[in-house]
Chain A
């Protein structure tokens, strides 16, 4: 029997075959040999117990894993339906799931003898995570960040600088996440000898989508164990927000072969799908090729990439990881969209009922969880990945909800 978890991707990095599949290695020739090198090094490291135990040890003592699987009692009561559990990735060191992957890749970089880490960042959470592990491992760190994002995520910019990272503002294109990724790729092409590019999501050329997924899969593995231990059963529905989709792949992966577990990815609908101002590549895009992989993209009729829009900088990306594209087409997971306003509503609700300030990204998933839970009975279990905390978003939240939100 072919299972979802071990069959993908194939040797060429495709999820679902190379004709209609997603993924691949669509990069400039200069990078092809490097990507092959990373893949070989990763496969060796992955099978090396020493690498895995070092990763697990730092995950436990430095990152703070395992993160709790928390029963959100009052949120569940509020919606009067399914029981809602929150996987508390916001409690990780640096405040989001991003460090799971940053740590894994940085250890791989160290193993490969690379001394310089580069990364792109949108909301700044991946940038902070990379700057953090670079400091911990004594490596140089350069973070590419869109000029627009630098403006709206000042606290994270200051944090990265404090951690010793160099921040390079990107003014090209729309000056957001996709442009930061272009610029990081350009840096990498020019510094192939000493540099390791830590991509922050389950996108990019193979092996990145698989590698990042593997490093994030700890989220789903823990969730599975925790729920089995306390409830003696698997969840009915998993919900996570998707920009590139790394926290969602992390949560989903351990459950792909459990047919009874439904999976929902929540895209950013921005000002509404019909407005054209959104970041929903699956619900409002078409397949194409960008940043080294074939996947769903926001693009115009001429194949030019369109600007994404979301209130949350972390979801403000015109593409999505290729494995999500495949899960979407195959029907294994479904993908819905939640607007800026709905996400803000969820932020307020989660703060008042649970005393937890979620990141705007994660609030997209929370909103859908409420919407779904309300239609279900208390026998149902919904797990939401609370991918990050919302401290970084205070300025945006205050601007939209006012000084005295009710």
Chain B
């Protein structure tokens, strides 16, 4: 069992510890950095915690996001079309830290922009900017050991993704490189792919994961409203909402995205 995380006194660890005291799941909100433009994105980021986001997952735009559905693909394209880059994403985090030193920020994205930037240089810059963790969609543990070791040295959590297809024998390898929390993908598919049907299986899956790790378990993919979020929050330690939020921002703007965040936060608060 993966117990003693090297990263014990971090924003992520403190966040989950606080929520455990009040017996509430964390709300993890995903937004794409630079979507639709730098200013809007920056202002939204700053207001998410007050609206109820416990952890912010910040997407790093990539031209070819093979695990993402249309909503997040388009968000990345909007950001890139407006000249967003990896450096700007890190600058956004650094600016955010001027006004908020508590809310954990986790970067999510694909490996190529990071490798182009330089792996070590990126990890150092991310740590300096105040990033707390990384979710790298296309870096399986088989190829991730070196990056994980460097990230750990800098206090950056490598958050492992676990899929419904993941067999039990892969878990030790995945979790050995895991810090912060575990991200359990709710169904086989891409982000925003379908409205998640709540099933008993999710409870079983989370329970099964808990036998392998003491890290908090987040569940994401397909959670679009308060009702689904509440259902997931009964079992999971954190609920991740991405595409629904990104879509709301695109079609109805910042205020609507913040209203959805508040709705989700309230739904999660009252379930336990």
Contacts and interface: CB of A to CB of B under 8 A. Distances in A.
Interface of A: 12, 18, 24-34, 172-173, 178-179, 182, 185-186, 189-193, 286, 288-292, 297, 299, 301-305
Give 3 nearest A-B pairs by CB, closest first: A303-B116, A303-B113, A190-B189
A189 B63 contact: no
A302 B185 contact: no
A33 B70 CA distance: 25
B67 A189 contact: yes
B138 interface: yes
Nearest to B167: A33
Interface of B: 61-67, 69-70, 73, 77, 80, 85-86, 110-117, 137-140, 142-143, 160-167, 170, 174, 185, 188-190, 193
Given A27-B138, A288-B116, A304-B61, 8 more contacts: A25-B140, A30-B67, A32-B165, A186-B66, A189-B188, A286-B116, A303-B115, A304-B63
A302 B85 contact: yes
B64 A289 contact: no
B208 to A, nearest CB: 15
A28 B188 contact: no
B114 A303 contact: yes
A185 B62 CA distance: 16
A24 B77 CA distance: 27
A29 B185 contact: yes
A29 B163 contact: yes
B64 A182 contact: yes
Contacts of A288: 112, 115-116
A290 B66 CA distance: 9
A12 B62 CA distance: 25
A141 B188 CA distance: 20
Contacts of A25: 140, 142-143
Nearest to A297: B112
Contact of A302 (B110, B116, B143): B116
Contact of B138 (A26, A178, A179): A26
A31 B62 CA distance: 20
B140 A29 contact: yes
B163 A182 contact: no
B195 to A, nearest CB: 14
B66 A182 contact: yes
A28 B116 contact: no
Contacts of B70: 172
Contact of B112 (A34, A185, A289): A289
30 contacts: A12-B142, A18-B143, A25-B142, A27-B138, A27-B140, A29-B161, A30-B163, A30-B164, A30-B189, A32-B142, A32-B170, A33-B167, A33-B170, A173-B77, A185-B67, A186-B190, A189-B188, A189-B189, A190-B190, A190-B193, A191-B188, A288-B112, A288-B116, A289-B110, A297-B112, A302-B116, A303-B113, A303-B116, A305-B64, A305-B112
A289 B115 contact: yes
Contact of A28 (B62, B115, B117, B163): B163
Contacts of A193: 188
Given A30-B165, A302-B85, A305-B63, A192 B116 contact: no
B116 A29 contact: no
Nearest to B85: A302
B3 to A, nearest CB: 22
Contacts of B140: 25-27, 29, 32
A299 B116 contact: yes
Given A30-B165, A33-B170, A182-B64, A290 B193 contact: no
Nearest to B194: A190
Contacts of A28: 66-67, 137-138, 161, 163
A186 B69 contact: yes
Nearest to A27: B138
B193 A30 contact: no
Given A26-B140, A291-B66, A304 B165 contact: no
Nearest to A183: B66
Contacts of A289: 110-112, 115, 138
Contacts of B137: 28
A182 B110 CA distance: 13
A290 B65 CA distance: 10
Contact of A192 (B66, B138, B165): B165
Given A25-B140, A190-B190, A303-B115, A33 B165 contact: yes
A56 to B, nearest CB: 34
A149 to B, nearest CB: 16
Nearest to A28: B67
Contacts of A33: 163, 165-167, 170
B115 A24 contact: no
Contact of A185 (B66, B86, B163): B66
Given A26-B138, A28-B138, A190-B193, A290 B166 contact: no
B224 to A, nearest CB: 17
Given A185-B66, A301-B116, A29 B162 contact: yes
A179 B70 CA distance: 12
Nearest to A306: B63
Nearest to B164: A30
Contacts of A286: 116
A192 B167 CA distance: 14
B190 A302 contact: no
Contacts of B112: 288-290, 297, 299, 303, 305
B143 A303 contact: no
B185 A26 contact: no
Contacts of B64: 173, 178-179, 182, 290-291, 305
Residue among A191, A290, A297, A302 with most chain B CB within 10 A: A302
Nearest to B76: A304
Nearest to B183: A29
Most buried by B among A18, A191, A303: A303
Contacts of B174: 29
Contacts of B193: 190
B139 A26 contact: yes
B65 to A, nearest CB: 8
A371 B62 CA distance: 40
B161 A26 contact: no
